[in-house]
Amino acid sequence: MASAVPKMIGKARKNPKAALAANKRLMLRGAPPVGAVYKMAPVELRRSMQKVAREHIWKKDLWEAYMFRAAALRSELLVTDLCLILDATALGKNRSPALARFLLDEVVRKGNNVNYKMSFRDVVMALNAGAKMRLGGDKRWVDELLTMGLRRISGTDRHAASPNDIALFLHSLTRLSVSATQMEAARSSVASEITARIPKLTDGHTLSLLLHGFSPLGSAGLEEATEDEDGDDEGEEDEPFEEYDGEGQQETTRPLTITHRPVLKMLFKQVVENINKERVFNNMDVAHVMLAVVNVYRQSPKELEANGLVPPSLIPALNGRIEELTAKMKPCDIVRFMRYTAQLPVIETRKLLPEILYRIRHFTPASSLEILRLLRQNPGFDEHGKVESTIFYRLIRGDSARFLTFEQV
């Protein structure tokens, strides 16, 4: 239903009756009239934004009204409400970076004020929202929130922080590409608090985020691996990343060492014990585990041997889990897993290629080009050229020209 909303709005511009019908459909799903947003009280505004975000309604003028109203009410909003508003905004496509930074500055101001009780979860939500929106420019708010988070994670009420919040805290810092010194300080604080709890952790989301956050190169200039064809996934809090050559990338020329090895060993052990349990590890969780293994492998291939850091039983378990999840993967997930398996030879791709052949018409031209690039770099993926020829057939379709740039052609 969420994917049909842009089509409804497109029709509405041509036909007044269609506009009225589209608005009625949105209202039935919980979207208020745009004019009503400017009259909302603080708590009413926060609840409405959360409800609309859960329904995946991304009407542009509605979200512009939401953000302007939030900016106008910033002094009246509680710090928790501000963080929840940022969290809801980060889920969608209609983001306003300038207004988001404006609200983050207000979060920092209230967080430093003793009269406002800012919890560790509030800090995590604010950091995660900023990471999802990929806010560039001045990042003093990151330093402030990092300091607040470290203070709360090591304070007297540190045991109130849930393992999932702690994992998301470390994960958000990874996405924000903080300095190596800051990342190591965060890892040390997280390790001191989470180590005793690891043997009891069974949630795939928490384990995979912690594993990726503690893995080497986990804080070195990372980019979200998103695809345009899946707007619904764009805002997921657990999207995996890759290294990229872009602004803000950290210095990685100095040799990196694998720190916190005991913590990593415990996390790998828990992953092996729980990865095959039904509904524990989803696509994104498996992707984060794979990326952690890739980071370890790039640092030292010997760590995948019998006495290495990565348990020998993890690779067969990963291969089996990927086979189970292949049919449920979206096109962007398949591209993502192809990219990771290209860097990790021990992961099998025999189930991914037939799925690409079966669903090639659902891949965007950009995704098809990425798969073609990976096949050219790794000839062993497609020995008989069947997938390559199918991708060329997809790229000569008439709709491809609209989505390919001159450089891609």
The position carrying tokens 């390919």 is 404
Coil vs helix vs strand at 283: helix
Q: What is the pLDDT of residue 395?
A: 75
Pairwise CA distance, residues 192 & 294, whole Å: 25
Per-residue model confidence as pLDDT tens digits over 98-126: 888 889 999 999 988 877 788 899 999 99
**By mean pLDDT, which of 83-87, 178-182, 228-232 is the weakest?**
228-232
CB 228 within 8 A of CB 363: no
Does residue 3 register a pLDDT over 60? no
Amino acid at 1: M
Per-residue model confidence as pLDDT tens digits over 294-313: 888 888 888 888 888 999 89
pTM flag (> 0.75): yes
Pairwise CA distance, residues 168 & 215, whole Å: 15
Confidence of residue 227 (pLDDT cuts 50, 70, 90): very low
Number of CB atoms found within 10 A of residue 317's CB: 19
Does residue 409 register a pLDDT over 80? no
Give the pair of three-digit tokens for residue 8.
């409804």
Q: What percent of the chain has pLDDT over 70?
A: 77
CB 333 within 8 A of CB 321: no
Coil vs helix vs strand at 241: strand
Q: What is the pLDDT of residue 325?
A: 86
Amino acid at 306: A
Q: What residues have CB less than 8 Å from 248, skipping those under 6 apart?
A: 136, 177, 221
Closest listed residue to residue 333, CA positions, set 346, 312, 351: 351
Q: What is the pLDDT of residue 231?
A: 41
Confidence of residue 134 (pLDDT cuts 50, 70, 90): confident
Higher-pLDDT residue of 283, 243: 283
Confidence of residue 71 (pLDDT cuts 50, 70, 90): very high
Higher-pLDDT residue of 247, 147: 147
Confidence of residue 30 (pLDDT cuts 50, 70, 90): low
Amino acid at 268: F
Using the 8-state DSSP alphabet, how is residue 243 labeled? E
CB 73 within 8 A of CB 42: yes
Confidence of residue 61 (pLDDT cuts 50, 70, 90): confident
Q: What is the pLDDT of residue 84?
A: 94
Pairwise CA distance, residues 179 & 183, whole Å: 6
Confidence of residue 12 (pLDDT cuts 50, 70, 90): very low
- For the chain, the structural domain boundaries read 30-165, 201-226+258-349, 359-408
Work out the mean pLDDT of the chain and round it to a whole number.
Answer: 79
In this structure, are strands 241-243 and 222-224 parallel, antiparallel, or unpaired? antiparallel
Q: What is the pLDDT of residue 159?
A: 63
Q: Where would I find the H helices in 300-395?
A: 314-325, 331-343, 352-359, 365-377, 386-395
Does residue 171 register a pLDDT over 80? yes
Count of positions (residues) in the chain: 409
User: φ and ψ at 206, to 5 degrees?
Assistant: -65, -45
Coil vs helix vs strand at 118: coil
Confidence of residue 359 (pLDDT cuts 50, 70, 90): confident
Closest listed residue to residue 241, CA positions, set 339, 382, 161: 339
How many CA within 13 A on the CB side of residue 360?
23
The position carrying tokens 């290495």 is 308
- The stretch 196-223 carries a mean pLDDT of 80
